[in-house]
Structure 1
Amino acid sequence: MQATKTHIPDVIILEPKVFGDDRGFFFESFNARTFETLTGVTRSFVQDNHSKSARHVLRGLHYQIRRPQGKLVRAVQGEVFDVAVDLRRSSSTFGQWVGVTLSADNKKQLWVPEGFAHGFVVLSETAEFLYKTTDFYAPEYERSILWNDPLIGIDWPFEGEPKLAAKDAQSVTLGEAETFD
């Protein structure tokens, strides 16, 4: 597996070593020792989530203000544009974002640490998306930042309006959001 730090060094792209031939492929999608060695992250994952979404569905930008979740995410079917936004006020990259295309074909994963909002938009007809999280879902602490907040300025790779859940359509801007110290 190879790890690549992004311009926000705590957000890391992971690319597995894939063994393939005319029968198909095999790769190790997660190994705790390798993950810790490559990233320096010593968290345990406590919950796995699996979602399926249609083209232009945008989920996010979600985070939990208490009981924050680190997320290791990947697409196992289709293609998404995945985004992490730094919500740590003490960070030199506060309000900045990282975006990467994750797909079943490229098999890349993204480590989104605690203290970040996370979201993605589906670029293929459908996509199935997996999340490993470092804490349990706590709906009472869930918050959402507006996907098109001009202060953040995410360059989403699609035209028009995304398909949003009602809660995501009512998200707040970064200036209005509860953030991390």
Structure 2
Amino acid sequence: MRVERMGIDGALLFVPTPHRDDRGLFTRTFDKLTAERFGLDPAAFVQDSQSRSRRGTIRGMHGRSGRGEAKLVRCARGAVHDVLVDARPHSPTFGEQVSVLLDDETFATLYVPPGLLHGFQALTEQTDVCYRIDREHDPSEDLSVRYDDPELRIHWPLPVSAISDRDLSAGSWAQLRDRLCGPNTTIGE
């Protein structure tokens, strides 16, 4: 399994090597020893979740306050355009974003460290995304920023076909940045 650093401090992409033959394929989607080599505690992940979305759906941008949450995210069916935004005020990559294609061909797993905003857009008619999360969900700690925030300028490859009311009513990056860092803070300060 190959591991790539994602350009945001602590974010990793685990890329397995699927074995393909005339029957189909077999691949390992998680490896405890590889995770440990990169500083992850496999036993820390206490919840597995799955979402199903149709083409064009956006889910995000979500995060957690407090100590945040770490996630392992992979696309089990179809493909997604996956986006991370660093919302950790003291991080060297605060305010930066990266995106990656997760799909059912490469079976890559994205490690999302605590303190990042995460979201994705489904690129296929039926898309299943699986998450391993290191904390129980506490709705009182939910953070969100609008998917189309003008300051973040996230590029979504398809027109939006569906988005939740919650995501439509999310606040701005400027509001979250002020909450995390204080008013009048700019990226890079």
Q: Which residue of 2 aligns with 1:149?
A: 149
Q: Which residue of 2 aligns with 1:171?
A: 170
Number of residue equivalences: 179
Indicate conservation of the 8 Å contact 2:18/2:106, yes or no: no
Q: Whole-Å Cα distance in 2 between the matches of residues 47 and 57 of structure 1?
A: 23
Tell me whether 1:40 sits opposite 2:39 in the alignment: yes
| 1:165 aligned partner, one-letter code | S
TM-score, L = length of structure 2: 0.89
| 1:133 aligned partner, one-letter code | I
Q: Which runs of 5+ in 2 are unaligned?
A: 183-189
Q: Which residue of 2 aligns with 1:80?
A: 80
Point out the more displaced range, 127-136 or 12-21.
12-21
Q: Whole-Å Cα distance in 2 between the matches of residues 92 and 120 of structure 1?
A: 23
What is the SS of the residue equivalent to 2:173?
Answer: coil
User: How much has 1:40 moved relative to structure 2?
Assistant: 2.1
User: How much has 1:6 moved relative to structure 2?
Assistant: 1.6
Indicate conservation of the 8 Å contact 1:88/1:180, yes or no: no
Indicate conservation of the 8 Å contact 2:80/2:103, yes or no: yes
Indicate conservation of the 8 Å contact 2:57/2:160, yes or no: no
| 1:42 aligned partner, one-letter code | D
Q: Which residue of 1 aligns with 2:92?
A: 92
Structure 1 residue ranges (4+ consecutive) displaced by more than 6 angstroms after TM superposition: none
**Measured at CA, do residues 109 and 23 of structure 1 come closer, stay the same or move farther in structure 2, by a change above 3 Å?**
same
**Measured at CA, do residues 176 and 73 of structure 1 come closer, stay the same or move farther in structure 2, by a change above 3 Å?**
same
**Measured at CA, do residues 69 and 45 of structure 1 come closer, stay the same or move farther in structure 2, by a change above 3 Å?**
same
Indicate conservation of the 8 Å contact 1:87/1:180, yes or no: no
Q: Which residue of 2 aligns with 1:55?
A: 55
TM-score, L = length of structure 1: 0.93
Indicate conservation of the 8 Å contact 1:73/1:130, yes or no: yes
| 2:108 aligned partner, one-letter code | K
What is the SS of the residue equivalent to 1:88?
Answer: coil
Indicate conservation of the 8 Å contact 1:68/1:114, yes or no: yes
Q: Which residue of 1 aligns with 2:15?
A: 15
| 2:174 aligned partner, one-letter code | G
Deviations 1:108-144 (A, max 9, x none): 1111100001100001111000000111111111121
Q: Which runs of 5+ in 1 are unaligned?
A: none
**Measured at CA, do residues 103 and 53 of structure 1 come closer, stay the same or move farther in structure 2, by a change above 3 Å?**
same
**Measured at CA, do residues 65 and 154 of structure 1 come closer, stay the same or move farther in structure 2, by a change above 3 Å?**
same
User: How much has 1:67 moved relative to structure 2?
Assistant: 4.7
**Measured at CA, do residues 162 and 151 of structure 1 come closer, stay the same or move farther in structure 2, by a change above 3 Å?**
farther
Identity of aligned pairs, percent? 33
